[in-house]
Amino acid sequence: MPHQTILSPVARSAAAASAAAEATATIATPTGFRLTAHNQYNATRLDAAHLPRDPFPLFRLWLHEALRPTHGQTAVREPEAMTLSTVSSSGIPSSRVVLLKEIDDHGFLFFTNYESRKASELETGHAALSFYWREVSRQIRVVGIVEKVSPEESQAYFATRPRGSQIGAWASPQSRKVGEGEMERRVKEVGDKFADEVPCPPHWGGYRVVPVEIEFWAGRPSRIHDRFVYTRPDASSPWTVERRAP
């Protein structure tokens, strides 16, 4: 049988520490970014004197700058991607990335299957959103009240979707277990059924997150980040804003 060296407890401890140190020093992503590295941020400093009273104009400005950044920064590829966080009735949290489809004067709109897990958890009436734009060293955090958009709004947006996405909305029993090849069969059946126009399914539509808290975060050198948080007690009250420690 192959020879096996039995180390003393002290030697094993020293060897383990050495191996851990070596692993820490060499762990890297495929791009070579070391997980132990300290990324230095240098976003444009936020000035409290120039912040708007309402956070929506600032969000729109930041979204525009994510798409068309200045100071030689790289544009954010998909700034509308946002992490939607929900909580079940038993207090179990879950998160997933969805796409922001519209921001109006009331809140942030996205669309999904009303029979999905996220839809079930949105019945609590509250949700959180998070946008992280690494290229421009910014993130935005939103906490708000959830409301369904009108059927007319859902139908109007559904009509703009590509046909494949429309068929998928009918075919997918979202979050349910499916067998191998079942989705392909379902897609074909729906495509055959709706040879022309695909109507909006009754189990599909939009939600609006009406914010009561929005935080704007800008990464700054030495971790002295800028954080400004807008809050209001309810959707009809005026906003207040304050700087928070990083």
Residues involved in catalysis? 223
CB 136 within 8 A of CB 66: yes
Cα dist from 151 to 126, 148, 156, 206, whole Å: 20, 9, 8, 8
Tokens, residue 136:
């421009």
Q: Apex CA 41: angle with CA 49 and CA 211, to 5°? A: 55
SS3 category, 226? strand
Amino acid at 166: Q
SS3 category, 127? strand
Cα gap 159→136, rounded to integer Å: 34
CB neighbourhood size of 226 (10 A): 20
Residues 6+ apart with CB under 8 A from 161: 169
Q: Apex CA 129: angle with CA 126 and CA 134, to 5°? A: 170
The C-alpha R_g of the chain, in whole angstroms, comes to 24
